[in-house]
Structure formats: C-alpha cells, structure tokens
Amino acid sequence: MKLIKQNMYKRKKQMKTTSMLDKNIISLINEQIWLENNASFYYLYLSNQFAINGFSGISTFFKEQSNEEREHMLKLIDYLIDEDSTPQIPNYNFMEEMEEDFNILSHFENSLTNEKRVSSSIHDIVNNCKKIGDIQTENFMQWFVIEQREEETKFKNIIDELKIIGDDRGGLYQINKELGKLSDSEEEN
C-alpha cells in the first residue's frame, strides 16, 4: 500500500517565533498537520474510487471523512497561530502517486491502519507534553485522543460488518446505503 510518504515531512527550520511553546512540541504539531492533510487526501481518493465503482453511499462516507480530517488539520493550524507560532502548511499531496486495487475490505483496513498511525502520533505529542509539563497543549490534544478512539472504533465496526457480508451483493447494497446515511446523520450533529 502506497499510503503515506513516510519521509516526505521534513522538519524545516522553525520560522522566527515569539511563541512560548516548546520547539519540539511545535515540530510535532507540524508533523501532525502533515498527517491530517495526508489522511484528508487519502479519504478523498477513496471517495473517488467508491464513486467510480458505483458505491455512492460509501463514497459520501469517505468524502465526509476527508472533510473531517481537513477540519483536524485546521484546528492544529489555528492552535499554532493562537500560540504565536508559524504553522507549516503542507504543500504536497500524494494523490498523483496513489494506487490501490479496488477492494472494499482492504480500503477500510488501510483506513484503520492510517487511523492507528495518526493515534500513535497524537499519543506521542501528549507524552512529550507531559514530559515538559505543557499542560495547555496536553489539554488541547485530549480532543484528538477522544476523536481518534471514536474513529478507530467506527472503522473496526465497519470492517467486522464487511467480513460478515463477504461477497454477498445484498449485504453490500445495504452497507452502502447505511454508510451514506451515517454521513448524513453525522453532518446534522
């Protein structure tokens, strides 16, 4: 799976800043901005894949996921700006190199792998905050900790359902319908 270019994020020299935030924490948050951006483009790619393969409900689900990831990225950008630091805006996405055979179960399994990687990176930020006593950033990151837990559970549940369904067309029809509705109800909340 060519999911994420692991080494694309390079720690650039921090721009001159008057921020009270620790330099390492700023770098870690910038890496997180990079990961959220990658996740957003990956889900947009999947939304497109499902649309062209006739699964409009799942396509809507992934488009909504993509929007959520972009919101996460913006939340982190705003935090750095509020703290008088300079966020590094990702200037690259990997979509032009993206290539995965269309396989419903694999796409969801890859998404879960992606979410786990994002969770681990968030936990790393929290642990670093604890080490230096940055209670404010630790508090801010707690929202992401909870969000990631929900995301992982959501993907795990869908994967379990897909495993039960297997190749059954009726089951796939149903889950496509359900996931399209799930996105609608999440938007309303």
Q: Interface residues with ligand FEO (CB under 6 A)?
A: 36, 39, 69, 72, 115, 118, 151
- Closest to ligand FEO by CB, 123 vs 177, is 123
Residues 167, 163: Cα–Cα separation, whole Å: 9
Shortest Å, Cβ 69 to ligand FEO: 5
What tokens appear for 75 in the block?
């939340």
Shortest Å, Cβ 16 to ligand FEO: 29
Residues 102, 120: Cα–Cα separation, whole Å: 27
- Closest to ligand FEO by CB, 134 vs 151, is 151
Shortest Å, Cβ 39 to ligand FEO: 5
- Closest to ligand FEO by CB, 83 vs 151, is 151
Q: Which residue's entry shows tokens 């929290």?
A: 126
Q: Which residues lie closer than 8 Å to 139 by C-beta, 6 or more apart?
A: none
Distance of CA 187 to the CA centre of its chain: 17
- Closest to ligand FEO by CB, 128 vs 148, is 148
